[in-house]
């Protein structure tokens, strides 16, 4: 199999290399998938770059990056129904705690991590459902139905936020979203009733005014540390904050008293660790939303496997109106 790999941390141009590996044969309970596309996520960039406070070298001698992808099952291991051969699938946790991910022509992994891809759904969309799709579904529906609720979605222009806006509207919620000025019209088109510039100096008042003066029921937060004080002001009593990112402040100071006296639940989401029953619920929600034509997964750029460095740089640069994919064919 032709793959991109790295054996040390560093900038993409310095450490990403192309190599032909032997395709691992599927063990019992596993499948081998011929990949059509690999999804590139910010977490893939961080894992490849390394951290000053983390490990000094990768956990494996050679790492094929990326956890998301879509393709066709070519081979199955013992205990897997042979009828799965030739079926279209999408991948979750392709490189989580494993050496070989989806930046490759093939991947071999446990059969449950290769989810049947509905016939009407493209491979490109399938390659976005792993981290962005499941994170959005869990953040929106993690504590139940949202029909009749008001949701504040921070970062509605990002891939997760954009999917979450659509899922929340599909679920019957009123959506208030924040984003940068360049994304306002796009997020409105996704279904948000009100879209606000996250830089607004009157953001708290703007949010409350958009909800007729009432606090919001649920917040989806991409920058928890930077926004938790604002969250505490606009969340309703017994409200729920689903936080899936805090890149700009990884050691946040929380306004505990206002959160306490509203009995706020804070759910910190790391989709890699989502228990299988909850994951299966999210998968079902994504598939139903897609079947209802309520969810679109925009793609900003597609790069050939050989240009994986450029794909990583595109994710690192930011400012995208959709996901970045690798064409693995």
pLDDT at residue 248 in the model? 93
Match 């017994």 to its residue by tokens.
238
Strands of the 216-221 sheet, one edge to the other: 194-197, 174-179, 150-153, 216-221, 235-243, 265-268
Check: CB of residue 16 under 8 Å from CB of residue 40. no
Two tokens, residue 130? 């792993």
Check: CB of residue 232 under 8 Å from CB of residue 226. no
pLDDT at residue 263 in the model? 98
Give the pairing type, strands 30-40 and 216-221: unpaired
Q: Examine domains 2-128+297-327 and 138-272 and report if their fold is the same.
A: yes
- 61/291 Cα distance (integer angstroms): 42
pLDDT at residue 115 in the model? 98
- Residues belonging to the chain: 329
- What does the pLDDT average to over 154-165? 97
- What does the pLDDT average to over 168-173? 98
Crossing angle, helix 159-170 and helix 134-141, to 10 degrees? 50
Q: Per residue in 301-327, pLDDT tens? A: 999 999 999 999 999 998 899 999 999
Q: Per residue in 16-25, pLDDT tens? A: 999 999 999 9
DSSP H helical segments within the chain, as ranges? Answer: 12-15, 42-49, 123-126, 134-141, 159-170, 184-189, 203-210, 224-234, 256-260, 276-291, 308-317
Nearest 10 degrees: Cα torsion 137, 188, 212, 257: 50
Check: CB of residue 87 under 8 Å from CB of residue 97. no
- What does the pLDDT average to over 162-179? 98
Domain segments of the chain as ranges: 2-128+297-327, 138-272
Q: Per residue in 61-90, pLDDT tens? A: 999 999 999 999 999 999 999 999 999 999
Q: What Å distances lie between residue 255 and 207, 219, 221, 249, CA to CA?
A: 19, 16, 16, 15
pLDDT at residue 51 in the model? 87
**Cβ-count burial 189-225 (b if 16+ within 10 Å, e if not):** ebbbebbbebeeeebeebbbebbeeebbbbbbbbbbb
- 265/53 Cα distance (integer angstroms): 29
CATH 3.90.180.10 fits 138-272, yes or no: yes
pLDDT at residue 53 in the model? 83
2-128+297-327 topology per CATH: Quinone Oxidoreductase; Chain A, domain 1 (3.90.180)
pLDDT at residue 15 greater than cutoff 90: yes
- 308/60 Cα distance (integer angstroms): 20
| 318: region left, alpha or beta (phi > 0 left; psi from -120 to 50 alpha) | left
């Amino acid at each position: 199999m032709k793959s991109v790999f790295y054996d040390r941390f560093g900038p993409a141009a310095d450490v990403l290399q192309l190599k032909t590996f032997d395709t691992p044969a599927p063990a019992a309970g596993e499948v081998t998938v011929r990949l059509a596309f690999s999804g590139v996520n910010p977490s893939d960039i961080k894992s490849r770059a390394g951290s000053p406070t983390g490990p000094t070298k990768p956990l494996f001698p050679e790492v094929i990056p990326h956890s998301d992808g879509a393709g066709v099952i070519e081979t199955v291991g013992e205990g897997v129904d042979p009828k799965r051969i030739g079926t279209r699938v999408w991948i979750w946790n392709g490189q989580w705690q494993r050496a070989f991910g989806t930046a490759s022509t093939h991947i071999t992994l446990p059969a449950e991590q290769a989810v049947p891809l509905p016939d009407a759904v493209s491979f490109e969309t399938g390659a976005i459902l792993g981290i962005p799709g499941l994170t959005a579904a869990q953040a929106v529906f993690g504590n139940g139905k949202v029909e009749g609720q008001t949701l504040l979605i921070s970062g509605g222009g990002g891939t997760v936020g954009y999917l979450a806006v659509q899922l929340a509207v599909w679920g019957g919620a009123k959506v208030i979203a924040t984003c940068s000025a360049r994304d306002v019209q796009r997020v409105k088109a996704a279904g948000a009733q009100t879209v606000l510039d996250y830089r607004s100096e009157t953001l708290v008042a703007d949010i409350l005014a958009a909800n007729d003066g009432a606090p919001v029921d649920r917040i989806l937060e991409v920058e928890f540390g930077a926004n938790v004080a604002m969250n505490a002001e606009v969340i309703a009593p017994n409200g729920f904050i689903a936080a899936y990112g805090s890149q700009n402040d990884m050691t946040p100071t929380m306004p505990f008293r206002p959160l306490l006296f509203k009995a706020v639940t804070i759910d910190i989401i790391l989709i890699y660790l989502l228990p299988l029953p909850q994951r299966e619920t999210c998968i079902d929600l994504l598939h139903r939303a897609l079947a209802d034509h309520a969810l679109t997964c925009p793609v900003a750029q597609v790069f050939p496997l050989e240009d994986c460095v450029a794909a990583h740089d595109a994710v690192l640069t930011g400012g995208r109106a959709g996901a970045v994919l690798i064409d693995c064919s």
